Amino acid sequence: MTEGHVLILGGTTEARSLAELLCGQSALRVTTSLAGRTAAPRGGTPGAIRSGGFGGADGLAAWLREHRVAAVVDATHPFAAAISAHAADAAARRGVPLLALRRPGWTAAPGDRWHRTDSLAEAADLLPRLGARAFLSTGRQDLAAFAAVDLFCLIRCVEPPAAPLPARRHVLLARGPFTLDAERALLREHRIDVLVTKDSGGEATAAKLTAARERSLPVVVVRRPPPPPGVPLATTVAQAASWLAPLTRPANA
């Protein structure tokens, strides 16, 4: 092999940072795959970009073979369970090493009133016992779970969400990162008394948790799914790059 070809399943800040790091190494060829769910994703990702799904595990396995991929890094969103399962299946079939890159989840701080659930459906069932005006910060793909909730819902997402949606709602289109002052103002303006979020981790959207803590608001935190069994896990870009190094080194290095 004259060069290593790394496929990054992307869509996160970590995926973009890893592509930047790897593209600085001339021996590597880097392709970042984006799901294509956002019409205007953030730009600036170096290397080759492909958009759209692979057609499940079968399509991904065929792509790995056709493009002679030496290693795959699953750096998708921590809640993208379907693509992670497809990646594990396809990589195992082709004998291609696979790493999951996941930023650490959030940790409760003193004063937090967190209620952890294992699903969005559980979160929706819990909401009426916690408040009357909810801030749903779960992304536009998962709002159907809250369609029958009979309370006011502030919905923030990057693009307009599709039905079904809560009947009493206000949709705010915005892209993070969000400042603490902005989150404070948002909770105050909409008289929010309960927050719902996935445990996505990272700093870009963490300010809402601080703002909720300051107001002593209950926060429903949906636990993230684990990576597929047997897939090694990295929590930083540096760890992922270290794992890749021996797998992508040219034979004549």
| Predicted local confidence at residue 205, as pLDDT | 87
* Domain 113-222: CATH architecture, name and number where available: 3-Layer(aba) Sandwich (3.40)
CA distance 10 to 16: 7
Task: Find out whether 179 and 207 touch, Cβ atoms under 8 Å.
Answer: yes
| Predicted local confidence at residue 92, as pLDDT | 97
| Predicted local confidence at residue 252, as pLDDT | 47
Using left for φ > 0, alpha for ψ between -120 and 50, and beta otherwise, residue 150 falls in: beta
| Predicted local confidence at residue 35, as pLDDT | 80
Report the DSSP pairing between strands 194-198 and 48-51: unpaired
List the domain boundaries for the chain: 4-104+226-248, 113-222
Strands (E), the chain: 4-9, 28-34, 48-51, 71-74, 98-101, 113-117, 133-137, 152-157, 169-173, 194-198, 218-222, 233-234
| Predicted local confidence at residue 142, as pLDDT | 87
Q: Which of the following CATH numbers is that of domain 4-104+226-248: 3.30.420.40, 3.40.50.720, 3.40.50.1820, 3.40.50.10540?
A: 3.40.50.720
CA distance 159 to 172: 9
| Predicted local confidence at residue 1, as pLDDT | 34
- pTM of the entire structure? 0.87
Block means of pLDDT (10 residues each) for the chain, length 253 residues?
A: 80 94 82 72 76 94 96 95 96 96 96 97 97 95 94 95 96 93 98 97 92 98 93 96 78 46
CA distance 210 to 230: 35
Give the residue from 26, 28, 32 showing the smallest Cα distance to 7: 32
Instruction: Indicate if 113-222 has the same CATH topology as 4-104+226-248.
Output: yes
